[in-house]
Structure 1
Amino acid sequence: MSGEFDAAAFGRATHVSRETLDKLGAYAALLEKWQRSINLVSTATLPDLWRRHFLDSAQLAPLIRAAHGRPRCADLGAGGGFPGMVLAIMGVGTWTLIDSDRRKLTFLQEAARVTGVSVKLVPSRLEAVEGTIVDIITARALAPLDRLLGYAAPLLAADGRAFFLKGRDAEAEMAAARKHWTFRAETFPSVTDDEAKIIQIQEVARVAEGN
C-alpha cells in the first residue's frame, strides 16, 4: 500500500463501525501523547501509525474469528498494545495482555479506560506466566519463533492456535524452530508489508531429547 493511510482509510479497509473507529482514534491520540515519555512504538513510524501498527494488528481479526468463535486470547509482550489492544477494541475475543514493563501496562490500563474496553493485564516475564490457558496467542516483533514457542506452549489450549506477525525471515525461523519443536504451520501474506508474513501455529510440542 502507498500514499497516506489515516483513520478513514483504516475504516474503509477493515469495515469497523464508527463507534469502534472512534475508540481506536482515542487510543491513537493517547499513544501519541504517552510516546513523548515512554517508547511504545518506533518514533519513526508515528506518521504512519494507522498502517504500520493499527492495520498490521487488525489484519489478524478475520483469521482469529475463523479459528474460534469466542476465543480467550493472550498477547505476549503486549508493549504498546499491538496487536492485542487493537483486537480487543475491535471485539475479537477476550484479552489478556502480558508484559514485564509496568510502565507499558500502566499505559494499557489507561487505554482500556479511555476506550471502555475490558482487558486483563498481567505484569510478568513471559517464561514465568502461570494460571493462564487461552485459545489464541499473538505476538508481534517480540522474539525468534523458537523462543516464542517456548513462551506460548504452556499457555495454549490443546486445540489452540498462535498467530505471530513476522518479517522476511519467517521461513528461516520456522526451519530453525523445527529443531526443537513439532508443530503444524500455515502462513498468510501481510497486508501491510509485501515481505512480511503471518504464521499460524497449531499442535505445538517440544521435540523429545535424543530425536
Structure 2
Amino acid sequence: MTSDSEREFELALNVSRETIERLKVYETLLKKWNPRINLVSSSTLDTIWSRHFLDSAQIFGLVPDFNHWADLGSGGGFPGLVIAILAADRPSPPKVTLVESDLRKSAFLSTVAREIGLNVDVRAERIETIYPLRACVLSARALAPLDKLLEFTDLHLKADGVAVFPKGGQWRAELAEAQTHWEFELATHNSKTESAAAILTIKGVKRV
C-alpha cells in the first residue's frame, strides 16, 4: 500500500519506478535497524518519504553534472544514500562517498548499498582526519554550523566544485557568522519540505 508521504514524494519528483523500488528497500532496512542504532528519530518513521527522502532528494537537481559526490556525517544515509539511489538511473552512475565515523551506522550504510546495488564508498573515518576527498560535490545534513562545514569544504572539495548544504530556519544567522571567516559564492534555494529552511549552494571557498 502506498503511503501519503510516498505519494507526496512521487508528486514532487519525476523519478523512475526503479528508483521508487530502491527507496522502498531502503525504507524497510531503515525501519528494521532503527530500534537498535537510532538512525532517525522514531517520531519520523511514519513520514520517511517526506521528512527524509524528499528532504534529501530535493538537493539532487541543484547539481546536474558530477562524477563524485561526497556526503559528510551521513548517519542514516541522508542525503548521501538518497543521492546515490537517484544517481543509479544514470547510464554511468557517478561515485558517491559516504563518510560516517560511527561503526554501527557505517555498517548500516554498507548494508543498504549492498542490498540495492549502489556505487557507494562508505568511509568509517573522521571527517577531519580522512585523506582529502577532492569531491565535485560536497553535502552534509544536520551535521554542524555553516562555519564548521566550510572548514570541511576547504579540505574535501575540488577547487571548481560545489557544496550543497540544507539548512533550517536559523540559516541566516549561520551565514552571517560564516561570512566573518570565509569568502565564497552563494546561491540560496527554497526548501520543498520546510518553509523557513533553505538549501545553500556554495563555490569558491576561501578563508578570510
TM over 0.5: yes
Letter in 2 for 1:27: Y
1:72 alignment partner, one of 68, 75, 86: 68
In the alignment, what sits opposite 1:81?
77
State yes or no: 1:137 paired with 2:133. Answer: no
What is the TM-score of this pair, normalised by structure 2? 0.93
Deviation at 1:47, TM superposition (A): 1.3
Deviation at 1:5, TM superposition (A): 3.4
Letter in 1 for 2:131: E
Deviation at 1:71, TM superposition (A): 2.8
Query: Does the 8 A contact of 2:132 with 2:155 survive in 1?
Result: no
In the alignment, what sits opposite 1:9?
8
Q: Find the aligned partners of 1:94 and 1:59 in 2 and give their Cα distance.
A: 19
Letter in 2 for 1:107: F
State yes or no: 1:38 paired with 2:37. Answer: yes
In the alignment, what sits opposite 2:171?
170
Q: Find the aligned partners of 2:102 and 2:60 in 1 and give their Cα distance.
A: 26
Q: Find the aligned partners of 1:145 and 1:195 in 2 and give their Cα distance.
A: 16
Structure 1: which 5+ runs fail to align? none
Q: Find the aligned partners of 1:5 and 1:168 in 2 and give their Cα distance.
A: 25
Q: Find the aligned partners of 1:107 and 1:41 in 2 and give their Cα distance.
A: 12
Query: Does the 8 A contact of 1:7 with 1:25 survive in 2?
Result: no
Counterparts of 1:1-211 in structure 2, within 5 Å, are 5-65=4-64, 69-91=65-87, 93-207=94-208
What is the TM-score of this pair, normalised by structure 1? 0.92
Deviation at 1:130, TM superposition (A): 0.5
Query: Does the 8 A contact of 1:5 with 1:51 survive in 2?
Result: no
Q: Find the aligned partners of 1:21 and 1:175 in 2 and give their Cα distance.
A: 38
Q: State the number of aligned residues.
A: 201
- Cα RMSD for the two superposed structures: 1.2
Deviation at 1:7, TM superposition (A): 2.3
Query: Does the 8 A contact of 1:163 with 1:198 survive in 2?
Result: yes
Letter in 1 for 2:85: I
Secondary structure of 1:125's counterpart equals coil
Query: Does the 8 A contact of 1:99 with 1:123 survive in 2?
Result: yes
Letter in 1 for 2:203: Q
Q: Find the aligned partners of 1:22 and 1:200 in 2 and give their Cα distance.
A: 29
Tell me which stretches of 4 or more aligned residues in structure 1 moved more than 2 Å.
4-9
Q: Find the aligned partners of 1:143 and 1:131 in 2 and give their Cα distance.
A: 19
Query: Does the 8 A contact of 1:20 with 1:89 survive in 2?
Result: yes
Letter in 1 for 2:82: V
Q: Find the aligned partners of 2:159 and 2:62 in 1 and give their Cα distance.
A: 18
Change (3 A) 1:199 1:131: closer
The percent identity for this pair of structures is 45
Q: Find the aligned partners of 1:188 and 1:27 in 2 and give their Cα distance.
A: 27
